[in-house]
Structure 1
Amino acid sequence: MTLPRDYGGQSCALSRSMEIVGERWTLLIVRDAFHGVRRFGEFAAHLSVPRAVLTDRLTTLTRAGVLERRPGTGRREVYALTAKGVALWPAVRALSTWGDRFYPAEGGPRRVYVHVADEAPVDEDGRCTACGGHVPVADLVVAPGPGAAPAGPDADPVTAALARPHRLLTPLLPHPAHREVVER
């Protein structure tokens, strides 16, 4: 039996938010969009989510205005966060921080965030440890942390790309038609 998407009888802002981002896989899709995942196949390969579920979650996020579909190269479309989607960054960061604190990976966090301007780490509250400023998501680099597992030879392309520092909100992988040029 499929659970309903709405929280009948609940009218608070949290319940309305959960109707959009509270289903299984949804926040991981949003996280990956922040990391630069753009294409359906990239989300599917990295998350190992059933394609029908991924289609449903992407449709929900697009209809809610969290993601938008944009023309890609060829006939394929890509997904990108909208301003409404980017506004979810504090929640994604807070949940990641909470997970690192209470369910840590061996060795420390799997990913760390660095301020582009001065290459200093960003603390739990999203402030740069060097300049003290609040760092907007577009000014962050995600890098492997001390608890990151190395990407093995069979890693999907997204996992392999996340093993290198990468600026958030920028495409993580080049379009397949351009890979030969990039890899040379």
Structure 2
Amino acid sequence: MFKYDSVHGQWKHHELKVKDSKTLLFGNKEVTVFGFRNPEEIPWGETGAEFVVESTGVFTDRDKAAAHLKVIHDQFGIVEGLMTTVHSITATQKTVDGPSSKDWRGGRAASFNIIPSSTGAAKVSDSSSIFDAKAGIALNDNFVKIVSWYDNEWGYSSRVIDLIRHIATSQ
């Protein structure tokens, strides 16, 4: 999946090899991989990890995200938060109304409805988002609605790399 990607194309930066069942080689750089469903089981201290990015999409409810939220709250503080994603039609949505094995919403015609759904849409863009200043509003002193159009995967990944570079050079 990493070497060949339908959206982003073939990995061309340097040679990618499998050293063993737990190690990938990116050129001469060894990268240890883990198969734990729970990130708490990963021996972070033994790996020498300086930065950890959790972006599996698995921690989607309050209980699952509690550990992440605690770290953010302890370091920065959280008063309120909300995120809504609206994107174009996906490959799994219906073009006309019809039965859906997923749920009744998934059976609605995507071109005529804004349908709550999980997302997987992606276009390659290094921009994280296009900010729409006129669409936002300050709801109160602690809650500001911000609207932006963004690429779900590539833009996010680009900003994570930027953030890690910034943190690394700030230390």
Larger Rg: 2
Larger strand proportion of the pair: 2
Which category of TM-score, normalised to the shorter sequence, fits these structures? under 0.3
Give the TM-score normalised by the residue count of structure 1.
Answer: 0.23
Larger helix proportion of the pair: 1
Query: Relative contact order, CA 8 A, sep 6+: which one is greater?
Result: 1
